[in-house]
Amino acid sequence: MRFVIQRSTGAKVTVDGETTGEIEKGLVILVGVTHDDEQADIDYLVNKTVNLRIFRGNDGEWFDQSLLDVGGGALLVSQFTLYAGTRKGRRPGFTASAPGEVASPMFDKVAEAFELAGVDVQLGVFGAMMDVELVNEGPATFILDSTDRHRGRRRG
């Protein structure tokens, strides 16, 4: 599972001109699901995301507070293209992306996990063509991959 998280001072998703989700301060989180993702992947990424210190602290210091510390919201957007293969040819391939019948319930579980962590969750519409607007503060964008939980810490 992959998350691309963007620190935002405001964001919204619209589908066919209707706003389906909107946040003020918080994170826009693009969620990509692959074939073998499971609950442990969700738990790892949600815990990492809500506790990652990427917001300005009260003293003005950057990278001092987490999403939970600042009481920010999360705008979740399903994004199968996070697993696009671009190595061969000029057209991306999506064989590494989980099919909708697998990815949709996993996306719902991601939303539930953020809610259980105490985050106000707003959603895009799974599988829909969406317009995502955001003010990316910084800009600050981070890529999290659940396979990182199997890797040891780097030294140096």
The residues assigned a catalytic role are 79-81
What are the backbone angles phi and psi of residue 35, rounded to the nearest 5°?
-60, -40
Angstrom distance (rounded) from CA 109 to CA 112: 5
d(CA 43, CA 16): 32
Whether the ω angle into residue 99 lies within 30 degrees of 0, i.e. cis, is: no
How many alpha carbons lie under 13 Å from residue 74 in its C-beta half-sphere? 28
Q: How far is CA 102 from its chain centroid?
A: 17
Q: Determine how many CB atoms are found less than 10 A away from the CB of residue 128.
A: 13
Cα separation, 38 vs 133, whole angstroms: 30
